[in-house]
A = this chain, B = another copy of it.
Amino acid sequence: MEPTDENALKPIASVDLVVLALSEHGLQVLLIRRQADPFRGAWALPGGWIHTDEDPDLDAAAARVSREKTGVETPYLEQLATFGSAGRDPRGWSVSVGYVALLPADEVAGRAAESTDTAWHAVTGDGVAVPLAFDHASILRAGLIRLRAKVEYTSLPVHLLPAGFTLGELQAVYERILGRRLDKSAFRKRIAEVDFVEPVPSAMRRGSNRPAQIYRVKPGLGTAFFDRTI
C-alpha cells in the first residue's frame, strides 16, 4: 500500500465524455478530431487530463472538460465507469474516468457547425461509423448501454429535451432510444405516478391539431425512478 516509488508508478489520469443528444435522425454523439499524436486525425470522445491544480474533484474535472471542449455546461453529467490498462494509451499506463453527458435537442444544432474538428456523429447500434481513438469505442458502448438501461426505469430522458416539452414529445424520446413503441395510456400513468413533471400553466404546444399541454420537470428533483419499467 505504501508508495515505494513516487511518480514512476502513477498512471496518466484523464476524463472522457460520452456527450449524447437526440436529433430527428436518432442519437448523436459528440466527437472531436484529434490534433496531436497519438491517433492524430482520428475521431475521439472529448476528454482531457485531470488538472490536479485546478479541479477540486472528478465531477468538476468532467464539467471543466465539457465546458472547454464542447462550449456547453451540460446540464446532466453522470459518472459511467473507469477504464485503465497498460495498453489503452501508447504513452503508458493510463486511467480514464468515463462520464455520460446528456444535452437537450435544441443545443445540438448550435454546437454542431462550430468547428470542423467537432462534430455530431450518428449512433448506429452500439457505436458510430468512424473508428475511434484509444479504447473510446468501448467507452461509448458502455455509455450507450448505461443510457438504454436507465431509460427503462428512470426519468433520465428529460435531459434530452428542452426545458418545456409535451408528454407526446417525452414519450417519443423514450421510444426513439428504446427502439420500440410504448402504450400512450400506460406511459402517462407511469409519468403521473413518479410525479416528476408539472404542467406549465397555460403553456400549450400549438399545431394543426389539438394543442398539447407543455410540462417542465419539477424544480429541485433529481432523476426519478419508476416502480417497474417504463
Contacts and interface: CB of A to CB of B under 8 A. Distances in A.
Interface of A: 1-3, 7-14, 34, 36, 47-53, 55-58, 61, 79, 81-87, 91-93, 95, 97, 228-229
A54 to B, nearest CB: 9
A8 to B, nearest CB: 8
A14 B9 CA distance: 10
Integer count of this chain's copies in the complex: 2
A58 B36 contact: no
Given A8-B52, A11-B52, 5 more contacts: A10-B52, A50-B84, A56-B86, A58-B85, A79-B81
Nearest to A153: B153
B12 A50 contact: no
Given A79-B81, A79-B82, A95-B58, A12 B3 contact: yes
B57 A82 contact: no
A70 to B, nearest CB: 13
Contacts of A55: 86, 93
Contacts of A87: 56
A214 B50 CA distance: 51
A170 to B, nearest CB: 23
Contacts of A7: 7, 10
Most buried by B among A1, A81, A83, A228: A1
